[in-house]
Homo-oligomer: A and B are copies of this chain.
Amino acid sequence: MERLKQKILAEGTVLSDTVLKVDAFLNHQIDPELMEDIGKEFGKRFADDGITKILTLESSGIAPAVMTGLVLQTPVIFARKRKSLTLTDHLYSASVYSFTKEETNEISISQSFISSEDTVLIVDDFLANGQAVFGLIDILEQAKATIAGIGIVIEKGFQNGGEAIRKAGYRVESLATIAELSEGNVAFKEEN
């Protein structure tokens, strides 16, 4: 997705060979019009997959997921990283290790909102090691839902998450795939 790549080049900051900071438009400050375009792009790619629900993870996945839900006319559920007082019983849960934050979070959703009748699109902001996506897949398997695919805003193609998820048989659509981060520069993987 060309507009996204231009935004990454213009406003992303390469902090190291593995860390790309996109706090200016995705992870902290959000560009709503870019999110709308992202929603339209995911909506186009998954238009014919009979999606009934979108599942994402708080917090940075919410904006692209909600814009996708607006296009596909489906509800969006965001998995929570901690349990709240009004969300305690009847949960599907999974453990997710974050290499960025160096901690394990329990992620969970209420069993009320996803069932075996649902065909679910997972949407997330980043795909690196794939821990978050595998946690969301785990939750959907507990719910016996059909997993239509995974929509990722930015995939770090030099880390192993994307390959592992595709090898496990899932369709992954990434809007920008980074081949390499080096010397402060972003190199994108060529699209087919």
**Which A residues form the contact surface with B (CB < 8 A)?**
15, 19, 21, 23-25, 27-33, 35-36, 58-59, 62-63, 66-67, 69-70, 73-78, 80, 84-87, 100-102, 109-110, 112-113
Contacts and interface: CB of A to CB of B under 8 A. Distances in A.
B70 A33 contact: yes
Which of A19, A36, A69, A73 has the most chain B CB within a 10 Å cutoff? A69
The 5 closest A-B pairs by CB, nearest first: A58-B59, A32-B69, A32-B70, A30-B76, A62-B62
Contacts of A58: 58-59
Given A28-B78, A85-B100, 5 more contacts: A23-B110, A24-B112, A24-B113, A28-B77, A32-B66
8 contacts: A19-B86, A29-B75, A29-B77, A31-B75, A33-B70, A36-B70, A59-B80, A62-B66
A86 B62 contact: no
A87 B32 contact: no
Contacts of A77: 28-30
A10 to B, nearest CB: 14
A110 B29 CA distance: 9
A85 B100 CA distance: 7
Contacts of A63: 62-63, 66, 76
